[in-house]
C-alpha cells in the first residue's frame, strides 16, 4: 500500500496535493499521462460508466463487440455514428490543453489514451497512443484497408470499402479484441520508464490498458491520480487529486510554473 496524499474534498488538502504533484513533476525527465473518458467529460462527452454505460438500454460492453457487429452491423454503426456526431460538436477542454502543453514542457512525455474521440489531438497533442482506436478512422472488414473519414453524418451506413466493396467497421478495439500490439508495447515501455505517471479520468477497470498503471507503479514511478472518484487502482496512487481534470490539471500546471 503506497502512502497516498489524498487531496480529498478538503480545499486545504487539495491545495497541498496540487503542490505535491507539481513538486513531483517539476524535476521529472520522463512523464507519462494515461487518460480515460473522464478527461473528455468537461467537453460534454458522456463517460462510459457514468452515463449508466447504456446504449438503447444495453450495456456498452454488449454493443462494442465483434459479435454484436457480426450480428447487426447497422445497429453497431448507429452507436458509433451517434458518438461521431456528438464528438464533432465538442471541443477540447483545459485538461486536454494542459496535457498538450506538457508534451512541449517535459524532456520526454508520453500520452496514452483509452479515448477514441480525438480531443487530445485536437488540443495539439502529438503521437497520441490511441490504445482503443479512433472514431475518425474506418477499416475494411475484408481487405483491412484503413482510412480516415470525418464526414458527419456518414452518407451510407454501414460504409463500404471503395477498393473491394465489403462493409467497413469503425477502427475501434472492441471488447474481446486485442489492442494494436505496436501501440500497447510503446505504452508499456513508456510506463516502465516513467518517473511520474499521471492517471486522468479513468475508472481503470478495462485491461490490458489499466495494466499500464501497474507497470509504472512496480517500476517505481510516482503515481498521480486526477479523478473526482477513486479509480480501481487508486490504492497505487502516491498523490490523489479528487476533482475534475479540467480544473485540476491547469492548477498543477500553474503551480509548476512558479515552482
Query: Which partner from the list ligand BV8, Zn ion, none does 178 bind, CB cut-off 5 to 8 Å by kind?
Result: ligand BV8
Site of interaction with ligand BV8 (CB under 6 A): 36-38, 41-42, 47-50, 61, 64, 114-116, 132, 172-178, 201-203, 205-208, 226-229, 231, 244-246
CB 176 within 8 A of CB 18: no
Whether 132 is a known active-site residue: answer: yes
Stretch that binds Zn ion, among 23-31, 64-72, 142-150, 185-193 (CB under 5 A): 142-150
Q: Is 143 in the site for Zn ion (CB under 5 A)?
A: yes
Q: Is 140 in the site for Zn ion (CB under 5 A)?
A: yes
Residue closer to ligand BV8, measured from CB, 190 or 210: 210
Q: Which three cell numbers stand for residue 222?
A: 510516482
Name the residue nearer to Zn ion (CB basis): 143 or 232. 143
| Residue 115 near which of ligand BV8, Zn ion, none (CB within 5-8 Å, type-dependent) | ligand BV8
The entry of ligand BV8, Zn ion, none near residue 143 (CB within 5 to 8 angstroms by kind) is Zn ion
Nearer to ligand BV8 by Cβ, of 30 and 114: the residue is 114
Task: Tell me which of ligand BV8, Zn ion, none is bound by residue 164, counting a contact when its beta carbon lies within the kind-specific cut-off of 5 to 8 angstroms.
Answer: Zn ion
* 167 touches Zn ion (CB under 5 A): no
Q: What residue 85 binds from Zn ion, ligand BV8, none (CB within 5 to 8 A, per partner kind)?
A: none
> At its nearest, how many Å lie between ligand BV8 and the CB of residue 163?
25
List C-alpha distances in Å: 153 to 80, 150, 159, 243: 11, 9, 11, 34
Q: Does position 163 bind Zn ion by CB under 5 A? A: yes
Residues that bind Zn ion (CB under 5 A): 140, 142-143, 145, 161, 163-164, 166
Amino acid at each position: 500500500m503506497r502512502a497516498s496524499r489524498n487531496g480529498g474534498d478538503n480545499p486545504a488538502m487539495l491545495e497541498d496535493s496540487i503542490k505535491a504533484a507539481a513538486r513531483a513533476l517539476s524535476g521529472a525527465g520522463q512523464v507519462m499521462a494515461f487518460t480515460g473518458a473522464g478527461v473528455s467529460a468537461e467537453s460534454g462527452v458522456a463517460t462510459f460508466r457514468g452515463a449508466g454505460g447504456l446504449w438503447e438500454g444495453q450495456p456498452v460492453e454488449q454493443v462494442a463487440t465483434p459479435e454484436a457487429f457480426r450480428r447487426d452491423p447497422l445497429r453497431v454503426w448507429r452507436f458509433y455514428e451517434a458518438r461521431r456526431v456528438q464528438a464533432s460538436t465538442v471541443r477540447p477542454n483545459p485538461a486536454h490543453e494542459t496535457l498538450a502543453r506538457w508534451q512541449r514542457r517535459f524532456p520526454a512525455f508520453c500520452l496514452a489514451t483509452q479515448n477514441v474521440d480525438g480531443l487530445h489531438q485536437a488540443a495539439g497533442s502529438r503521437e497520441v497512443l490511441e490504445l482503443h482506436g479512433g472514431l475518425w478512422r474506418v477499416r475494411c472488414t475484408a481487405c483491412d484497408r484503413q482510412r480516415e473519414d470525418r464526414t458527419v453524418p456518414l452518407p451510407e451506413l454501414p460504409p463500404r470499402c471503395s477498393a473491394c466493396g465489403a462493409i467497413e467497421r469503425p477502427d475501434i478495439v472492441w471488447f474481446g479484441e486485442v489492442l494494436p500490439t505496436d501501440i500497447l508495447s510503446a505504452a508499456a515501455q513508456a510506463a516502465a520508464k516513467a518517473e511520474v505517471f499521471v492517471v486522468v479520468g479513468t475508472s481503470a477497470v478495462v485491461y490490458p490498458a489499466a495494466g499500464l498503471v501497474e507497470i509504472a507503479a512496480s517500476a517505481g514511478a510516482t503515481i498521480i491520480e486526477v479523478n473526482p472518484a477513486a479509480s480501481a487502482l487508486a490504492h497505487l496512487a502516491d498523490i490523489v487529486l479528487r476533482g475534475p481534470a479540467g480544473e485540476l490539471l491547469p492548477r498543477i500546471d500553474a503551480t509548476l510554473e512558479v515552482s
